[in-house]
Chains A and B, each alone.
Chain A
């Protein structure tokens, strides 16, 4: 028994040595591992794409089709036709756009106050800002829902956007960057007659473009992907966001799952595009605070 294991071990070592000696062999192994991992990660997305392209009869086939032999591109327009996906996307775009711009404005202003203005109570206020990070949205949904209801804002863009226009995370992120801007710059600008707003607009913000981009991408991601809150404050099909509209497809289109999958892909597209084009900014936004610098 022991000898067999020993023989096997020797064999493994020999193979490993042979692989190591030849660089292409080592590369091949590494790429193989990478490709296997990538295949597992991408499988759900790939299967969704395959299902989205299958004809109606083929989606109930077993074993599941791993490749669309007769791609039905018409499923995509069908998805847009059968459910108001375009309207959902518009709603999500408006919601996300307002939140991104709003967060950039409120957190730039707040971060400026925390980084450049000395006034009594500043540290306490900053701690209060940070403490909002400890309160999950899920804890406050009931009173927030009641507030929106009392304001008569159900099924409006105000309900989808206004509660999210301020961000402690963004304020913190921008403040950390603003503090790296030399104070002398502010003094010099003051001598040139720059007020605080003008200094913020024409000196601080241009110097902070990468951080602002990170915050924008991060805000886009979290706004676009919201689920619980839009579910609560929208009922009207005209006001649904794409996430909620998508989930509602489940009950709507049971027998033509290929169209549902086409809709799912359409809904996922903006975020995938975002990832491909703004990966750097996204990574910076997501890892802020994770890595000690």
Chain B
């Protein structure tokens, strides 16, 4: 340490600082090295397209799919307020209501059945989880047969119940219900797996104390199981709603958005506008609308549900 004047200089732990700075610099180098593949991919396939979608929404498209005139927010206004978008929004909400609550109730029921300690229970767990291994295309092809209006199992069951015969997939009043049935079945495996994991994380002692207090089965369910399960319920609701909003495959295979657009959810409408009509401008506006919706839904649901969620 070179002290030239008589003034005392406070001694700084300079070598320590330099060493720490060097380590940080070295770490930064390694950090960049380790992170750049992900950063590059996210930049190219998540952030850039997000910005470009917003930008494409400012331009009209010509019939060949080329970028046409700049129209600014006019296109956003006309598309988002237009009847087609509002219709697909309504269908999407309806589809969400038809699929998410039933999957939660049934999934919780199946999980409680599968949570019993019985010999051979693992076989039932695998069966209950099996639809998680079923892809949307496989599930749709399976249900296409079940829903066949002349020979399908669903038709036969309706006959047994004395119901009039319906061509479910071609009936504007029933097509969304039919697609929803397929979707509920498809999502049941995931819901069951997640609820089962939630049930198994509840400490046994809570049930013991409930038993000692003489709580009924219903009371135990309402005052022990449900509160302890609230984080899981939150997770399933949020994931289920987002999944519903992103649904496409089952509609593409089962109904093609029809009959009379009664199954035309947002993503199907985006796909149709972009890749059947090559109207990238309109489709981009819809995509941005979907993004805002999914984002908003997630935030609202988290806010709303967080107050009711009981954390340990």
Contact = CB atoms under 8 A, between A and B. Distances in A.
A257 interface: yes
A28 B231 CA distance: 33
B188 interface: yes
A147 B246 contact: no
Contact of A44 (B114, B139, B197, B294): B139
Interface string B137-177: 11111111110001111001001000000000000000000
The SS class assigned to the A binding surface is: helix
Nearest to B37: A106
Given A44-B142, A276-B126, A290-B232, A141 B287 contact: yes
Interface string A146-163: 110000000000000011
Interface in B263-291: 267, 270-271, 274-275, 280, 283-284, 287-288, 290-291
Contacts of B24: 118-120
Given A165-B41, A243-B138, 19 more contacts: A27-B118, A33-B113, A34-B118, A38-B128, A106-B41, A117-B28, A136-B246, A140-B45, A141-B270, A147-B45, A162-B41, A166-B41, A196-B30, A224-B135, A242-B137, A264-B138, A290-B235, A291-B197, A291-B201
Q: List the 6 closest pairs (A to B, CB-CB), nearest first.
A: A140-B49, A143-B49, A166-B41, A227-B249, A225-B135, A143-B52
Q: Which of B34, B152, B190, B275 has the most CB of A within 10 A?
A: B34
A64 B118 CA distance: 35
Contacts of A286: 132, 190, 193-194
A97 B41 CA distance: 18
A198 interface: no
The SS class assigned to the B binding surface is: helix
Contacts of A231: 252
Contact of B267 (A38, A165, A228): A228
Q: Which of B31, B190, B193, B312 has the most CB of A within 10 A?
A: B31
Contacts of B130: 41-42, 45, 272, 275
Interface stretch (A54-62, A67-75, A208-216): A54-62
A83 interface: no
Interface of B: 23-24, 27-28, 30-31, 34-35, 37-39, 41-42, 44-50, 52-53, 56, 109-110, 113-114, 116, 118, 121, 124-146, 150-153, 156, 159, 185, 188, 190, 193-194, 196-198, 201, 231-232, 235-236, 242, 245-246, 248-249, 252-253, 267, 270-271, 274-275, 280, 283-284, 287-288, 290-291, 294-295, 298, 311-312
B50 A140 contact: yes
Contact of A138 (B34, B39, B270): B270
A247 B141 contact: yes
A112 B38 CA distance: 12
A279 B197 CA distance: 13
Q: Which of B130, B139, B196, B274 has the most CB of A within 10 A?
A: B130
A83 to B, nearest CB: 13
Contacts of A292: 201, 231, 311-312
A91 B140 CA distance: 21
A109 B126 CA distance: 33
A138 B246 contact: yes
Q: Which of A166, A232, A246, A271 has the most CB of B within 10 A?
A: A166
